[in-house]
Structures are given as structure tokens and as C-alpha cells.
Structure 1
Amino acid sequence: MIAAPARTPIARFVALVEQRLGLHYEQGQWGELEAVLAERAAGRGVELYLAQLTAPSAQAEWKVLAERLTVGETYFLRHPTQLETLVDQVLPSFLRQTSSLRVLCAGCSTGEEPYSVALLARERGRVDSSRLRILGIDVNPRAIAQARRACYSPWSLRAVPAAMRAQWFQRTPEGFALQPQVRDQVIFEERNLLEEAPAFWAPGSFHAILCRNVVLYFPPEVIRRIIARMAQALVPGGYLFMGPSETLRGISEDFELLRGGDAFYYRLRQPTPPAASVALAAPPPAAPQKVAPPPADGLGEVLHLLDAERYTEAWAHLESLPQTSQPQALLLRAVLHLHAGRLAQAEQLGRQLATASATEAPACYLLGLCLEQAGDEAGARGRYAASVRADPTFALGYLRVGTLARRAGDIVEARVALRMAVSLLPQEKPLHLALFGGGFGRHGLMQVGLQELQACTEVP
């Protein structure tokens, strides 16, 4: 038997970084790590250095690596609509239940985000600042030290209105120092999101958690552990805010997706009360079902689970069925691949299904979702346009075309597509809603369409 070749030093270093810091590097990105490895191992040799990284005494070295490798780009009032939703709607909703409100900013870098929450709470007046407790955590010790100093460059304040800057910051030779009453409202801790820390993540610890533009750098299995820990730490019905390009699709089924204006965010699902606790009364009229009549061959249950966003169960049930080349079965499989983040598998099936007239429209839409998740909005827009050419009544296709057109500044095209979406959504096929509704439902999607259309009218 031939022994397997030993992994190269850089491959072992990459694996250690992912294990300890959660940061995932594709092989094409290893060049930047090779330079760090060479620098840190200088004078002692790469093999000895890698061995030392696995020792309990390596804590100080890992702090250095965290400083070198973590991404800290941030500024005050970044993605402001989310922050405004937090202080205007989310936090006030808890005021009748508790005397103190607790917010966690995970991956807070140099502190601009938690301080932004504190500033907006004071500016907008919906929450008594004396009842608000904000905690910022980050794995980078240098960033935490800078956050505690609370002195920032003009570049960090580039989105802060002049009046707010004048009221809450003091000009110093080093930069703009935050006023003490705001600075002292936020506590900072050096903490690694990958560490268990049961006491820190105790149930009911926080009313809201901001984890924005953080998990972009983690592999899916690490993201699942982090999000599960955060779900546990939230109060019942607590909220999670993520970055605009981040999603829980295929990561967690513990949350429902909400939208306020241009802000997307998540709410922890409430447990379903036991049937015995429900009062005996005449049942309310049944709401219209989103799901189409159950397909044959056991796929109806898969579709039902998918519609309920129970993706893990849907996949397990689909795998338990006899393998078939039936187009609807392949479409369900492709959608579940997409929700699990397996974009290559979803795209492969989508291309296959796009050649059949019966599945061309949903398959093109699916391919658009794959491209959008991969960051190719122009390509995604083309695929969504193909979906509505294949099926001129496909409301969801028009909705995505309009949304991406608005982002690209093509306001005329956006208005046309969004008006089509709003007019067609009341008759959208239940199957399309189940496959691609993303938990919104018909009414929620109508609101999204109307809000997007309103945003078009606000463009000068």
C-alpha cells in the first residue's frame, strides 16, 4: 500500500486557521497566508512554528494572527436602515416586557457599529438610553483596544451628518472622540465566536444580535454552529441582523425572514403551542393554502416541508423516495441544493430543467438565484428575464428583474417589471410561491413589490 502524501505546510496552516479562527480560504487565496506563515515562522522554522500553534501556550500567537487575518472594514451608520429598524421598531417592542434591553454586536471590529446603535437610540428617542445595554465582541484584540478608546478618523465618520457629529463627537489632535455618555454605554470584550462559552451564550441573554458582514468569511458548517449558538442566546421572539449579502437559507430554520423598508432581518421563531392548550372554539376560516395539490410519488410531503422552510426534513424525505427523473422531483432537488448552499449542484440541475418547456421558467429563475448568491447580479437579472419570457405570468420573475434593475439604476425598466409583479402576484402559481417565496407568502411578497416600486418613485 502506498502511503498518502503528507499535506504541505501551507495546507496545514490553512487548516489550523480555519479550525481556530473559523476563516475559510480557497486555494487561490493561499498566497496571502504564505506570506504571513513565512513572517511568523522566521527564525524558528515552519515545522516548529506549526507544532507550536497546536500547543495550549499558543494563545498569544493566535491573538497576533487574529489581528493580521481578520477583516475590519467598518464605519459609523453602515447599512443605516437596519439600524433604524432596530432602534425604531425592534427594541421598543420589548419595552413592556423588561426593564433593560440587551444588544450584542458580534464581530464589532473597532466599535463603530455598537456606538452607532447607541447614537441612533439617543437621536431617535424611541428607547430610553438608560435601559439599553450594548455589548461588542471581536476576536481581534487590537480592534477591541481601539474601540474602547472611541477616537475615530474623519473617514470612519463619513456617513454621520454634520449636526450629529457636532453633538456627539469632540475634535482632538488624534481625531474625533466620542462623548463619554455614549462611549460608556457600550462594553467591549475580546471573544472568539467559535468558542463554546455556555455562560456567555446562555438562553435569553440578548433581545437582538447584530452579526453583519462577519460570517461571509466562514465555511457553512461553522456558520451553522455560530447561528445555532445565537438562536439559543436570544430571548423568545428575539431578532438577528445580518449583512445585506448574507442569508440563513440552508443554514438555519430557527428564524423567519422579515422586511422593513429596505432592511431585511430575522426573528426567532416562537415554539408552536401544544394543541391541548388551545381553547375549544369554532375554528377560524381556513386561510388559502400556498401549496399546490400534492404531486404524485410522495413529492407532496417534500413540497409541504419546503413551503414550511423545514429544509433538512424536506431533503431527508426526498432522499427516502425512489430516485426518479420526473421533472418536478428534479426541480425540488435543485431548490433544496440551493437552500443548502450547494450552488454547483443546483445550477447543474437547473440547466438540465431549463431545456424542457414544462420547467423552463422556474429553472431559469433558479439559475438566477444561483448567480445572485454568487454575486453576479447582472447575470442573475438575465436569467430572471428569461424566466418571464418563458412564462409571462411568472410574478416572482418580474419581482427579481425589477429589484435588480432598481439597484443597477435602470429605473424605467424597474418600474415596468415591478408593476407587472404587483399585478400578477395575486394569481401567482402556488407551486412558485412554495418553491421560491422565501417564507414571505403572497401578501408579504406583495408588500415587497410595493415597497420596491415606492423606492423607484423616490429616485430623483
Structure 2
Amino acid sequence: MIAAPSRTPVGRFAALVEQRLGLHYDPPQWGELESLLTERASGSGVEKYLEQLASTPSPAEWKALAERLTVGETYFLRHPTQLETLVDQVLPSFLRQTPHVRVLCAGCSTGEEPYSVALLARERGRVDASRLRVMGIDVNPRAIAHARRACYSPWSLRAVPLAMREQWFQRTPEGFALRPQLREQVVFEERNLLEESAAFWAPNSFHAIFFRNVVLYFPPEVIRKIIARMAQALVPGGYLFLGPSETLRGISEDFELLRGGDAFYYRLRPPAPPAPLAVPPSAAPQRAASSVSAPVFTPPTPPPPLEGLDGVLQLLEAERYAEAGTLLESLSQATQPMGLLLRAVLHLHAGRLSQAEQLGRQLATASATEAPAHYLLGLCLEQFGDERGARGRYAAAVRADPTFALGQLRAGTLARRAGDVVEARVGLRMALSMLPQEKPLYLALFGGGFGRHGLMQVVLQELQACTENS
């Protein structure tokens, strides 16, 4: 249900935002909306602005609001097991039946996800690039413009192995630009998921749809409508991928849940067969009752939400950054060192590097947060292009906590890039030996979506690169 209009200006603004963009804001989150409302209404006054927004909605104004209210927290090869399932299993199964396969990435933000599909399809070699069509859609026009430009920061490429980075990206003064053959394989559209379009959501339009880490921004009734449209647009037996912490339970009965390795995803159920005609009991054939029933897969029950800073950490690890920030601001512990560290990490994920760096410098002087603060400052310096300074911060993180495996990993990686192969090997081998015992806190804050096993694979790839370059 759309939020009931409130008598307060910010409450009415929240209702309009939800009605037009589908984004739901509870009263504790209205502080973010209030500052935006004040800014946008500065010329005409709040009451007149709200009246104009409700009676004669301006497409240009809603585009501006969408740019400010939709947050693009993404990076290349995010949740890689799902991407591997798509290109290794799902798409090849369709290519045996049709000349082309079509993948939609809904809520694609700045384009890393659809480009990851195209990149991994080429890397794995199971899908002919000429037979793959990838589309990304998002309501944020600035994000779509960024996606079409296809130039990204090192932070967006943090999960991309070196060999892939060198093959598919070109270093430019602005960052890393995708090579043309990959960029041209993906098309982007500015599109609001709440707006109906019979042509776009026509039956048999897509073989797979990615709708990851978007569900949490919408209320349930909006999600039901969007998922119903997606089910309509998929080919029979098509696939839907949600984020690891998202579920269709209570949302849709049109899909069955599947598991491949560590990846969970959904497949469109076939239409229910027509009910058989009633047969008189005397005419019905007699069959022996079967005691064997088809196995039913029951998805794991998500863990109950935690409270306090543990709850913030749980949300951060699930990449639910907006919720993590809202919860953190409501806690008295937000001003304690661990609360400030979590806030700094949230600044980093949102691209607010100056705020993250300021807090990191403050936290580096406290013993409880010294090691992760130095590591965070290293990540900031990498974003600023100062790899030498970043190496110094990673070394400081390891001095503060000699068991900090991720610090050894980043220091070793940057040493290899700088040509210091001996130092790189030492750091990377230390990281490999210490990762099985890495602190869960460090993995949650800085693992980048990788578990221990995935990070160990990254270390092995870096060690292989050291061998190749020596």
C-alpha cells in the first residue's frame, strides 16, 4: 500500500515519491527527504512546489529527483556465483533452442552488472558473443549516462582479476574505460519500473532477468507488480536472479527456487495444466498408492535481524547500505569508535571519499580501530590514484594487526603492480596462509562480496601474475 499522505510537507513529499518512483521512506528516514525538499523548493516555496509536483508533474523534475534518491552501490563481478551460473548453465541451455539469448538487468545503476554479464560470457567461453543481447535499465538518467560512457574507477573494478582488467579495460586519465567490443554489446535505457509498457514487457522478451539488490527499496505491493511484469516478459522456463539476501516468499508463486553451488535463483514455473474432467468413481482406473513423493527444496531461513552495531554490520555485509545507515544514525553507539568505523565504511561505499578519509584519520589514532582505519585510508588513497600512499597505509594496517590478511593482500597486489615482485610474493603468501583465520569483522567490512574461498582464489591469481611477470 502506498504510504498514506501526511499533513506535514515532508510526509506529503514522501507519499509523492513513493507514488511516482516506488521508493518507500519510513518516518525515521524523512530527514533525507526534508533536506532535498527544502533544496528543490527554494525558488517557489515548499507548499507551491508540492502542489505543482502533485498536479502537473514535470518529467524533468522527477528525473532530477530520481538522480538524487536512487543510490548506485555496485561494482563489477558482484555476487560472482550467480553470474557464473548464468553464463555456464542458463544461457547455454537456451542457445540449444534459439539463435539469440536476451538478458535484462533491471535497476542497473551505472552499468557494472550488465557489462559483467557480457564480460564473463566472453571469459568463460560458453556463450557466443554474437548470440548474446544484454540490456540495462534504470530510472536515474545520470547513472544511465555514466553506463553509456563506460569509464570506471579502480574501486568499481576491485573484484576484477588483473588479467581480465588488462584484457577488457584501457587505462585513461579518468579511470578504466571498457574496450569498444565489450561496451557495444550492451544497450541502456532510462526506464521507470513503475510505468507500464506493454511493448517492453511483452511475452518472450527475455531469457533471464537480473533484479538484484533493488527489492529492498520498494514496498511489497510495488514489488508484486514489478515481479508479475517480469514473469510475463520471460520466455517459458526463464530465470530471475535476485540479490542473495532477497526472496520471493510472500511476493510471487510464479517461480521455483533453485540452487547451483552457492548461487540461489528462480525459474519461471510452467503454466498449470487444465483441471481434468470429473470421472465417475466406477470408471476411474485403480492405481496403487505411491508412498514416494517428489523432494521439496526448502530455502534456508534467513537469520533473525540483529540489534545495535551488530545489526548495522549484518546489513552492511548484506550490502543493504541505506538501511545500515538509517539504523546506525538511530543508535547511541554511533559516536563510539566502532560506530564511527561503520559510518566511514558506509561513506566509502557511497563514494563520499573525503568524509571517509576524515573519519579514517581520526580512527587511526584509536587502538581498537587502528588497523581497519589504516586499511580504509588505503582504499581511499587508491581511489584518489595514490597507490604508493595506499601501500603505506596497508603496511600500517598490518603493523597494527599482524594477522590482517586483507591488508597483506592489498599490499601485495599493489607491490606487484609497482614491479616489486619479491615483496609482492611475500605479502600474498602471508595473505594466503592467514585468510582461513581472517577476522569476520574485516571480511564483512572489506571483503567486497567475496568469502574466504573467493579471496583465496584472488590471492592465487595474483601470485600467478607475479610468476608470469618475473
Normalised TM-score (structure 2): 0.61
Measured against aligned partners, the alpha-carbon deviations of 1:278-331 in whole angstroms (never above 9, x if no partner) come to xx999798362489xxxxxxxxxxxxxxx899xxxxxxxxxxxxxxxxxxxxxx
Q: 1:41/1:84 Cα in 2 relative to 1: closer, same or farther (>3 Å)? A: same
1:196-345 alignment, distance < 5 Å: 196-274=196-274, 286=290, 288-289=292-293
3-state DSSP class of the match of 1:371? coil
Deviation at 1:54, TM superposition (A): 2.1
Q: Report what 1:323 is aligned to.
A: none
- Is there any run of 5+ residues in structure 1 with no aligned partner, and where? 292-306, 310-338, 340-364, 380-408, 412-451
C-alpha separation between the residues in 2 aligned to 1:282 and 1:82?
46
User: Is residue 138–residue 192 contact of structure 1 (8 Å, CA) maintained in 2?
Assistant: yes
Q: Report what 1:356 is aligned to.
A: none
Q: 1:64/1:369 Cα in 2 relative to 1: closer, same or farther (>3 Å)? A: same
User: Is residue 6–residue 12 contact of structure 2 (8 Å, CA) maintained in 1?
Assistant: no
Q: 1:130/1:284 Cα in 2 relative to 1: closer, same or farther (>3 Å)? A: farther
Q: Report what 2:83 is aligned to.
A: 83
C-alpha separation between the residues in 1 aligned to 2:166 and 2:289?
56
Q: Report what 1:19 is aligned to.
A: 19
Measured against aligned partners, the alpha-carbon deviations of 1:221-246 in whole angstroms (never above 9, x if no partner) come to 11111101100100000000000111
User: Is residue 139–residue 193 contact of structure 1 (8 Å, CA) maintained in 2?
Assistant: yes
Q: Report what 2:304 is aligned to.
A: 371
Q: Report what 2:110 is aligned to.
A: 110
1:102-181 alignment, distance < 5 Å: 102-181=102-181
Deviation at 1:46, TM superposition (A): 0.5
Deviation at 1:71, TM superposition (A): 1.4
3-state DSSP class of the match of 1:257? strand
C-alpha separation between the residues in 2 aligned to 1:289 and 1:373?
37
Is it true that 1:34 corresponds to 2:34 in the alignment? yes
User: Is residue 104–residue 134 contact of structure 1 (8 Å, CA) maintained in 2?
Assistant: yes
Q: Report what 1:43 is aligned to.
A: 43
Q: Report what 2:97 is aligned to.
A: 97
C-alpha separation between the residues in 2 aligned to 1:287 and 1:64?
61
CA RMSD, Structure 1 to Structure 2 (Å): 3.6
Q: Report what 1:294 is aligned to.
A: none
| Shift >4 Å, 4+ stretches | 274-277, 280-285, 372-379
Deviation at 1:89, TM superposition (A): 0.5
Measured against aligned partners, the alpha-carbon deviations of 1:344-364 in whole angstroms (never above 9, x if no partner) come to xxxxxxxxxxxxxxxxxxxxx
3-state DSSP class of the match of 2:78? coil
Q: Report what 1:429 is aligned to.
A: none
Q: 1:289/1:135 Cα in 2 relative to 1: closer, same or farther (>3 Å)? A: same
Q: 1:290/1:370 Cα in 2 relative to 1: closer, same or farther (>3 Å)? A: farther
AA aligned to 1:250 is G
C-alpha separation between the residues in 2 aligned to 1:373 and 1:231?
33
Q: 1:253/1:176 Cα in 2 relative to 1: closer, same or farther (>3 Å)? A: same
C-alpha separation between the residues in 1 aligned to 2:302 and 2:148?
41
Q: 1:31/1:154 Cα in 2 relative to 1: closer, same or farther (>3 Å)? A: same
C-alpha separation between the residues in 1 aligned to 2:191 and 2:172?
30
3-state DSSP class of the match of 1:187? strand
3-state DSSP class of the match of 1:122? helix
3-state DSSP class of the match of 1:256? strand
C-alpha separation between the residues in 1 aligned to 2:302 and 2:77?
29
C-alpha separation between the residues in 2 aligned to 1:49 and 1:256?
46
User: Is residue 87–residue 127 contact of structure 2 (8 Å, CA) maintained in 1?
Assistant: yes
User: Is residue 371–residue 377 contact of structure 1 (8 Å, CA) maintained in 2?
Assistant: no
C-alpha separation between the residues in 2 aligned to 1:86 and 1:178?
21
Deviation at 1:17, TM superposition (A): 0.5
Normalised TM-score (structure 1): 0.62
- Is there any run of 5+ residues in structure 2 with no aligned partner, and where? 278-283, 315-435, 439-450, 460-470
C-alpha separation between the residues in 2 aligned to 1:377 and 1:145?
32
Deviation at 1:6, TM superposition (A): 6.7
User: Is residue 133–residue 186 contact of structure 2 (8 Å, CA) maintained in 1?
Assistant: yes
C-alpha separation between the residues in 2 aligned to 1:72 and 1:103?
20
Deviation at 1:52, TM superposition (A): 1.4
3-state DSSP class of the match of 1:230? helix
Q: 1:282/1:89 Cα in 2 relative to 1: closer, same or farther (>3 Å)? A: farther
Identity rate, percent: 74
Deviation at 1:369, TM superposition (A): 5.1
C-alpha separation between the residues in 1 aligned to 2:187 and 2:159?
23
When the two structures are aligned, how many residues end up with a matched partner? Answer: 314
Q: 1:274/1:284 Cα in 2 relative to 1: closer, same or farther (>3 Å)? A: farther
Measured against aligned partners, the alpha-carbon deviations of 1:93-132 in whole angstroms (never above 9, x if no partner) come to 1012211100000000000000000000000011111000
Q: 1:283/1:32 Cα in 2 relative to 1: closer, same or farther (>3 Å)? A: same
3-state DSSP class of the match of 1:133? strand
User: Is residue 107–residue 137 contact of structure 1 (8 Å, CA) maintained in 2?
Assistant: yes
Measured against aligned partners, the alpha-carbon deviations of 1:42-90 in whole angstroms (never above 9, x if no partner) come to 0210011011112445110000000000010100000000000000001
3-state DSSP class of the match of 1:7? coil
Q: 1:373/1:237 Cα in 2 relative to 1: closer, same or farther (>3 Å)? A: farther
